[in-house]
Every structure is written in C-alpha cells, then in structure tokens.
Structure 1
Amino acid sequence: MVEPGCSGSSVRFFCTAGNGMETFLTEEVKKKLLAEDVCQIPGKVLFSSSAAIHRVTSLKAAERLFLLLKKDSPLRMPTRCSREAASLLQSRLLANRDQWIGAAVTWSRLQRELLASKGLGGTARSQRGGGTEDFAASKKHRSELREPQREEQHVEKPPEKKRMKEDGAEAEIKMESNSFCSKICLTGDDEASESVENVSFRISCKCSGSVSRSFSSQEVSRMMGAAVSRLLGWKADLKNPLLEVSLHLSDDYCLLGIPLTRLPLANRSYIKTTGLRSTVAWAMASLADIQPGFSVVDPMCGVGTILIEAAQEHQDACFVGVDIDDGQLQRANHNVLFAHLGKSIQLLKASSMGLPLLSGTVDAVVCDLPFGRKFGSNTNMAADLPLILWEMERILCPGGTLVVLLSPQLSCLLKKLLTQEPAEPALEQKAEPQAVAASCLSSSSPPDQQLHSQDRRPAAGLQQRQPPRRSSLKHQATFRVSLGAIDGLIQKYVKT
C-alpha cells in the first residue's frame, strides 16, 4: 500500500529517463506509487501521485525528479526576433502568476517532508532532496544543522563563503542564514507563500528541434529570466540561486519543472564502485521476476551492480555472482560489503563457460555480456557465446528466466544460435560440474571468505561442451536501452 503524503493531495511530477527506460519507469510509478495520469514522452515520464515524497525519490528507473510546473504544446518561436519570442514565452508560460507561486509553495512543502522523512526535523538539510542551495552545498556541510534566526533579530551576519569542488569544477557558494530554503523548512504554507516575493532563481533551458535553430539555450534562458523577474519580482542569480527552474523546448512539447533533489535519483548511495548503469541494472533485475526464495545467478558479475540492485528489493532471495577476474571480484566484494548485502549475495571465482553449479538448480540468470568497448576484455564473445549460452541454459530450471544485455551484433548472433542446428558435439563431459551450488546458496559466510574458498577453475574438458540441438529458451521480450555512447539490447528468455 502506498503511504500518502503529509497533505494527502496529489502532486504532479515528471522524471527524466535514459533512452529506452521510459517503459520501465512507467511501470514502476504505476506499481510503487499507484500513479495516475501517467504520460510517457521520449526521455520523460509525467505522473500524478499522492505518495509520500520519500517514496517518490526512491524510484529506481528514473534519472532526475522534478515538480511539474507546466506542460504545454510546442512553441512556434519567431525566427531571430527576440522581442516577439520574449512576448510569446511570457504569454504562454508566465500568464498565470498564481501557478508559479503555488508551485514554489508546493516545492517548499515537499522539501520539508523530505527533511522530516530523514529524521532531521525542520532545521536540517536534506542530503538528497534539498533545495537549489543544497544543490551547490559542499560535502562537509550537506548534513549540518542550521540554527533558525529569531524573528526579533534584525542584524544580519555577513554570508560565509566556502570553496567546493563539484564535477571537477571549483564553485564558490554563499551560505545565507536567512535564505528561502531556511524559511520554508520552518514555516507553514501560508508563511511560505509570503516568502516567495524575494527569491533568487536561475533558468536552465534546453532547446531542441526547430527552436534550437532560431535561438540558443542561453538566449531563451535570458528571455525567460527577465520575464520571471518582471512577473514575480524574483531576482536572477546564475551562480547561487535559491530556486532553479528547468525549461525544455522541443518540436513536441514545452515543459517547465523545478528539480526536487540535489543529486540524480540514479546516483546510488549504496554502491561504492560503479559499473553498469544502475537504472539499466535495475531494469534487468525487474525483468527476472524474482520471487521469495529464488536463486539468482550472474555468471559474469563484474563489480556486482546487477546483483546489488536486485538484492536491494529482494533480500529474501539468494544471489550468486561469478567472475573469472580477480580484480572485478574484489571490487564486487567491496560493493557487497558496502551495501550490507553479504548475507544475500555470494561470490565465486569461475569461468562463465564452466559454471560450478548443478543443472536445473537456478531460478533466474541475469547477465551483462561484455561488449569490449568501455572496458577491455580478453573474452572473444562472438566465439565464446555458444558455450556461455549453453551454461546459462543448463543451470536454469524449467520455467526459469534468462535476462541478458548484449550489443546489437551479439544479439543477432544469439538469435542464430537459438535457431540453428549445430554440428555433432565433440567430446562430452559426462560428469556434472562440482556441486557447489547447494553449499553456496545456503552459506552465510562473508563474501571475502568465499572468494578464497571457491577459487577454482572449471574441470578439464568442460569447455568442450556443445549447445543442444534445440534450445529450450523461448524469447519473451527485447528492449533497446542507451548505455551512453552506444546502445544495448536487453533480451528476456524463459526456459520451457
């Protein structure tokens, strides 16, 4: 059951998502938040929900979270006439002053709820859901408590300046004791509405399509900033704004929103060393249909991102990560310990072409097959894929699920492997691999001990296995997702 927000009223949000992740995010907001009026557009999902804000910020498929200020049809900007363009922006996006004031008050209420959900009361900063001042706050001061000013005190202290480094760039910030963020965390909505008269703000604009051919994002930001200042009396501040407004103009829509969190939702606080994108890893785990008591294996686990994302939501299942690389296993071990999932995730050193697990004992296999693009790989995936696929299929139980992430080239090869008639098999390994599955799945020893106790190579002759004449894997779905510079294909199969 979704926990209602403090006000009990529905709030309109939107989240950004990587290309191809919109479908996963849509299903997630419906399932976890019982969201209504869900609208999916390229790169974004809009929805309404009365769920508590800390539930909304727990979305796994989203990149950034915004309070929706306005969604409108696309603007047909006049060509190179800034005066007409500014007039159009004001008439379409700034016609309703009360809407902007109401959005600022709602944003302030959500910030208070985020602070309260972290057990910090109304005088602390939110590490993840703070306002725009928190966006720029240094790590040292993210969780510092702030003493509220007394109303009778009229002498203001000079702002304290700190230096910080964020995303590789030095930024100078100003800690103001009478800031808007401080006020809204100590007052109610009525008092907060009175505080929105002297707000410093910044417009962050993204233009695409025909609009970008007429005006740059900087030009539109300046025009919008001037209009907002005239309408609301707010002061533009490009360096240290108290409130940030995001504007996206495209040929399909016009979207205005206010960021609700300092960091992207995709930044996982429980993962120390990153590997595969956390949102994609979560999507793969969600396709595996993991149930309580399931055994789940990642035969090429790398730093363990997929297993950790899955175990975060299914701690009553058992997870096994396998990798042949000592360095990757060590990083995976650190991640597992950092996420406090040592009782749920076990790690083994073995080859994906000779898994030390009994046939038909695994409920789900989830694997990111290395592309050899971002990270170097000694594995010739095109040559080794038949053996890897056979091993994954072998350990799956009937009805088990296989979810793999592949490059488009490997995806084509996989389809051929599942339909072709292979040649007569070579030497067949008669003996089953050593049965370490049961002891691994029931072991409660910490991962660092397992790395040594299960440090073994596959038995001789095991790599001479050949795929069966007819694969028992039935294709269920394919999703194309962005991995940054390249795209990958998530494919789901069920063993019949």
Structure 2
Amino acid sequence: MVNIGNEASQIRYFCTAGYGMEQFVIDEVTKKLAAHDIERLQGKVLFSSSAHISLVKELKSAERLFLLMKRDSPLKLSAHANPARVASVLKSTLIGDLQSWTSAEVTWRRLQGVVGDKKKEESKCEEQRKVEEENVCGEDNEGDIPIMKKRRMMDCEDEYVYTGDDQDKTRPQANRHCSGPLSFRISCKCSGSVSRHLSVQEVSKVLGTSLSGQLGWKVDLRNPQIEITVYLRDDHCLLGIPLTRLPLANRRYIKTTGLRSTVAWAMGELAQIQSGSLVLDPMCGVGTILIEAAQEHKLACFLGLDIDDRQLHKASENVAFAELRDRMHFLKASSTHMPLPNASVDTVVCDLPFGKKFGTKTDMAASLPLILAEMERVLRVGGSLVLLLSPQLSCLLKKLLTPPQTGTQEAANQEGVQDVTSTPTQGKEPSIGLMTESCLPLSSLKHQTSLRLSLGTIDGLLHKYIKTHA
C-alpha cells in the first residue's frame, strides 16, 4: 500500500532510464507509487504521484529522479535563425512563465524539508526552551534564564537547507534562510537543431543570466543549493530539478559494483521470484543480481556459484555489507558442473560474461551449450530462467533452443522473439553452425520474452524462459 506523505497534492516527476528500461520504470511507479498520467519518452518516464518523497527516492529501475518543472514541445527554430533569435526563443519558452518557477521552488523546498510545518517547528522550539530552562534552574542559574531563552529563539529561526549529501538528508546551517535568494547552476543536454545553433555552454549562459535577472538567484557552479537540468531535443523539451545528488542507480547497500544495478534489479523482476523460492546465479561474480533480488524479495533464498576466488571474496563482502548473510550463500563451482540435484532450483538468473573483460567470445560460445544444459537440469518444472547475453550469444541461444524445423523461417517462427540476428556487429564471430551442429535443442525451455537493453557502450539481450517439463 502506498504511503501518502505530507505532500498530499500530486507532484509531477520524471526519471531517466537506460534504453529498454522504460517499461520497468513504468511498472514500478505504477505498483509502488500508485502513479498516474504516465508518459514514456526515449530514456525517460514522466509521472504524477502523491506518495511520500522517501518512497519515490527508493525507485530501483530509474537512473536519476527529477522534479518536473516544465514539459514543452520542441523549440521551433528555422535553419537560418541567428544566435540572438535562438536565445530569445529559448528564454521565452523556458522562462516565460515566472510563476511556474516560483511554484517549482516552493515544491522543491518542501520535498527537501526546507519549509516545514510552522506549528511543528514552534512546538519543537518550545520544547527545547523548556529543557534549557529546566537545566538552568536545576543548576541554580536563574539569572541566566533570559539569556538562554533569547539564544534558543535565535537558534529556532535557522532554516533547514538541502545540502545534497549522500543520504539526501537536510542539515541545519546557521545564517542561511529560506527567504534568501537561491544559489544555482544549470546542467544542459542538447541534441538536434538547437545544438546546431547554440552550444550547451551558450544555452546555460542564456538561461542563467535570465534567472539571475528575473528571480534574483545567484550562480554558484561549485556548491549550489539547487541545480536546474535542461533536456533539449527535437521531440521534446524538459526542465527538472534533481532530487538526489547521486544517481538512484548508486546503491548504498552495495560495496563493490558489478553489473549495472538497474539491469540487475530488472532481471530479478522479470524472473517473478516467489516467496520461499531458491534463486540461483551460476556465474554470480560479485553477487549484484542476487543482492538486488534479495532486497526486493525478502522471503526467498539465494545461492551463487563462481569459479573465481576473487569474485567470490568480493561477493561475500557485498553480502556482509548488505546484511544478507542469513539468506544468501556462495560456492566455488563451475557452471558446467553444478553440485546441485536435478530440479532443485526455482529460479535461475545469470549475466553470462561477454566482452574483453571476461575473456574471448569464442570461449563463452563454446561453453554455452553445456551451461544451458546444466541450468535446465537443476531448474524445476515451472521454474524461470532469465539470461543476459550479447547479441551474438543471443543468436546462439536462439539456435540452441529452437526445435529442428524445415524451411527457411525456422528461426523467425519462434513466437515473441525479437530479431537480434540482423544487428550489425564489429569483428568476426565464430561460426554458430559449427559450434551447435551436434547440440540437441533444450526443448523443455519455452521462450517467454526477449528485451534489448543498453549496457552503456554496448547492448545486451535479456531473455526469459520457463521450464515446461522434465
């Protein structure tokens, strides 16, 4: 059930997300925040919610969280517009309505705890004053009571300001009041026609000068109270205020990072882990996928296998750091020879290593049939298998799990599978036909879905299968 905070009115947010992760964000804000008016853009999700800000900041699938200040159509610029004209259109579009800026400032201050309930603050001051008076009287210092009263009243006038620390908590700072002008800086990302007329530095300067002149805000590039983020594209304009200093993807409960935490979380969600389940990662690395799943599914147990002692050591440190030792264990074992009984695992999740960091693609391609056979063996009937692979390994997986058919459309007939074979790749790959010629299809694994996700400089394919029979 969604916990509605003091800010009971609906607040408009937007999140950034990696390519392919947008639907996970939509599902999460709908489920956890009772969000509505959801709009999906490439790499971003806009939504409204009255959930408490502490819940909004706990989103697992999003990269960054913003208070939405303005959502506008793209700037209309002619091909021959001069810089002065572009600057004028920019100011008119983004800062034309000053009321929206002051309203956004009030909402931002409230979300950060800057403006609190006055009665609560007055009550707090009264309690502090009584404590001081009692302490003074107890020490027979009655003559100092007026001085103590005055000092406590002055202390209570200090406002709370957002300091942007790792935990995003507010700290009291003397001599900085809500009534004073904000210090700010602008972060701008441009693409398309706007970037051909003005650089991001010029856009930031135009907006910064206008805000300083019209709102009295002061530019501070090093330690501002507030940051304005601007996204200018040919399909939309967005202005927002970041609500956390660090990205949401930076998990406070993970010591050593491995796979991107948002993608690791998505793998656990796609697996649909049930209470009481045993979840296996046969190539666990530092344990990121299991830790993300364990944070979300409190009544499941988790087991990680790996053949690298260093990875297992880091995984153990991560588990201890996340305080999950009672539900998560690790074993040194090969993914091609797992020390587990048949049909003993409810869910298998695995990021199969690929790329230069983890050895050659040829090695993984040669091992994939054996790894799949072991995963299928230990998985119980009805259990789910979720794999993250490169586009090249995805082609091999598709061939391994496709029953022999006649005709040229055998691969295309697999229901629900996206076409990943047509993706251009760099470098030469080993011949899939030679590697899989003698491999029998693992027909007990039925395909459910495939998704393409951005992993930064490369893409990955996320696949889900269900084991249908022994």
Q: Which residue of 2 aligns with 1:487?
A: 459
Larger of the two Rg values belongs to structure: 2
**Distance across 1 between alignment mates of 2:88 and 2:315:** 55
Q: After TM superposition, what 4+ stretches of structure 1 lie above 3 angstroms from structure 2? A: 77-80, 113-116, 141-146, 374-379, 466-470
TM-fit CA distance, 1:231 = 2.0
Alpha-carbon shift at residue 58 of structure 1 (Å): 0.2
Q: Deviations over 1:38-95 (max 9, x none)?
A: 1110111000000000000000011111000000000023546232122212221212
Residue 175 of structure 2 aligns with an amino acid whose one-letter code is N
Does residue 267 of the first structure (1) align with residue 239 of the second (2)? Answer: no
Instruction: Decide whether aligned partners of structure 1 residues 223 and 476 sit closer, same or farther in structure 2, where only a CA change above 3 A counts.
Output: same
CA distance in 2, matches of 1:23, 1:236: 37
Q: 1:476 aligns with which of 429, 438, 448?
A: 448
Q: Which moved more, 1:87-96 or 1:360-369?
A: 87-96
Map 1:160-309 onto structure 2 (within 5 A). 177-179=174-176, 183-184=177-178, 195=179, 198-309=181-292
Q: How does 1:363-402 map to 2 (within 5 A)?
A: 363-376=346-359, 380-402=363-385
Secondary structure at the aligned position of 1:374 is classed as helix
Cα deviation, residue 113, structure 1: 8.3
* Structure 1 position 198, deviation (Å): 1.6
Q: Distance in 2 between matches of 1:320 and 1:379?
A: 27
Shift of 1:280: 0.3
Superposed counterparts of 1:102-181, under 5 Å: 102-112=103-113, 131=162, 134-135=163-164, 146=172, 177-179=174-176
- Find 1:415's aligned residue among 398, 417, 425: 398
Please, what TM-score do these two structures have when normalized by structure 1? 0.75
Q: Give the deviation of 1:419 after TM superposition.
A: 1.8
Residue identity opposite 1:297 in structure 2? L
Alpha-carbon contact 1:475-1:492 (below 8 Å) kept:
yes
Instruction: Tell me the distance in 2 between the aligned counterparts of 1:468 and 1:345.
Output: 34
Counterpart of 1:354? 337
Deviation at 1:483, TM superposition (A): 1.0
Mapped contact 2:168–2:244 kept (Cα < 8 A): no
* Alpha carbons 1:472, 1:495 under 8 Å: kept: yes
Does the residue aligned with 1:380 lie in a helix, a strand or coil?
Answer: helix
Distance 1:341 1:240 in 2: 36
Closer, same or farther in 2 for the Cα pair 1:36/1:262, shift >3 Å?
Answer: same
Partner residue in 2 for 1:76: 76
Q: Which amino acid aligns with 1:19?
A: Y
**Aligned-pair CA distance for 1:143:** 7.4
Task: Provide the secondary structure at the position in 1 that maps to 2:356.
Answer: coil
SS at match of 2:62: coil
How many equivalent residue pairs?
396
State the AA in 2 paired with 1:359: N
Q: Is the 8 A contact 1:478 1:492 kept in 2?
A: yes
Task: Sort the Cα spacing of 1:257 and 1:143 in 2 relative to 1 into closer, same or farther, 3 A.
Answer: closer
CA distance in 1, matches of 2:362, 2:5: 50
Distance of 1:41 and 1:143 partners within structure 2: 30
Describe the SS at the equivalent of 2:377.
helix
* CA deviation profile, 1:331-365 (whole Å, cap 9, x unmatched): 11111111000011111111100111111121110
- RMSD over aligned CA atoms reads 2.6
| Shift, 1:420, TM fit | 5.0
Given that 2:182 and 2:226 are in contact with CA atoms closer than 8 Å, whether structure 1 keeps it comes out as: yes
Match of 2:299 in 1: 316
Amino acid paired to 1:275: G
**Alignment of 1:96 onto 2:97:** yes
Distance 1:28 1:472, change over 3 A: same
Residue identity opposite 2:232 in structure 1: L
- Cα displacement string for residues 371-420 of structure 1 (whole angstroms, at most 9, x for unaligned residues): 03334469811111000001101111111100000000000000101125
Give the TM-score normalised by structure 2.
0.79
Q: Indicate if the aligned counterparts of 1:201 and 1:234 stay in contact, CA closer than 8 A.
A: yes
How far 1:239 sits from its partner (Å)? 2.6
State how far apart, in whole Å, the 2-side matches of 1:283 and 1:294 are. 18
Residue 31 of structure 1 and its aligned partner are, at CA, apart by 0.7
Q: Distance in 1 between matches of 2:265 and 2:15?
A: 16
CA–CA distance in structure 2, aligned partners of residues 321 and 378 of structure 1:
23
Question: Which residues of structure 1 form unaligned runs of 5+?
Answer: 124-128, 149-176, 185-194, 423-465
Q: Is 2:6 aligned against 1:6?
A: yes
* TM-aligned CA deviation for residue 467 of structure 1: 6.2
SS at match of 2:112: helix
CA–CA distance in structure 2, aligned partners of residues 346 and 227 of structure 1: 57
| 1:376 to 1:467, Cα distance in 2 relative to 1, 3 A | closer
